[in-house]
Amino acid sequence: MLKGMLVVAAALAVVVAPAAVQAGNHKDIVDTAVAAGSFNTLATALKAAGLVDTLKGPGPFTVFAPTDEAFAKIPKADLDALIADKARLTKVLTYHVVPGKVMAADVTKLKEAKTVEGQMVRIDTSSGVKVNGANVIKADVEASNGVIHVIDSVILPQ
């Protein structure tokens, strides 16, 4: 159940537009993402994986959310196949979610973090902040049940 909740949180986090989120946001991760309007692919993926209700849960969740542009880097046929494969899609989406609320100041102190999917993601702070090579382009987008860090690439589990 927790794994499913984290997957939903990750997917929904991508749906949230960074500019639409203010400090002290009272919306959950899903509502924050939907209100942003800039994470349509993530929203579609979360819905396909059945994770929306999970991300509306109490959390807290930390979501590394890929933008629409990040999803556009994946060839269309590959992305369509991923969205059609619910088990694989859930694995990818939950790989973008870390249990708990990890703010940017905390992320910069880490070398890796365990995801809801179960594997570790590498964190590199030598030049900005990168998660498995994806750049964090907007940090600390707060929601009532966690935080979203917007990334410029989709990260894939092994």
Here the CATH number for the domain that contains residue 90 is 2.30.180.10
Q: Is residue 137 part of a domain?
A: yes
Segments forming the whole domain that contains residue 35:
2-151
Which residues fall within 8 angstroms of residue 123, CB to CB, at 6 or more apart? 107, 110, 111, 112, 113, 129, 130, 131
Q: Is residue 158 part of a domain?
A: no
Confirm whether pTM is higher than 0.85: no
- 60 preceded by a cis bond (ω within 30 of 0): yes
For residues 153 and 80, what is the distance between their CA atoms, to the nearest angstrom? 17
For residues 69 and 106, what is the distance between their CA atoms, to the nearest angstrom? 26
pLDDT tens digits for range 108-158: 889 999 999 999 999 999 999 999 999 999 999 899 999 999 999 999 998
Number of domains in the chain: 1
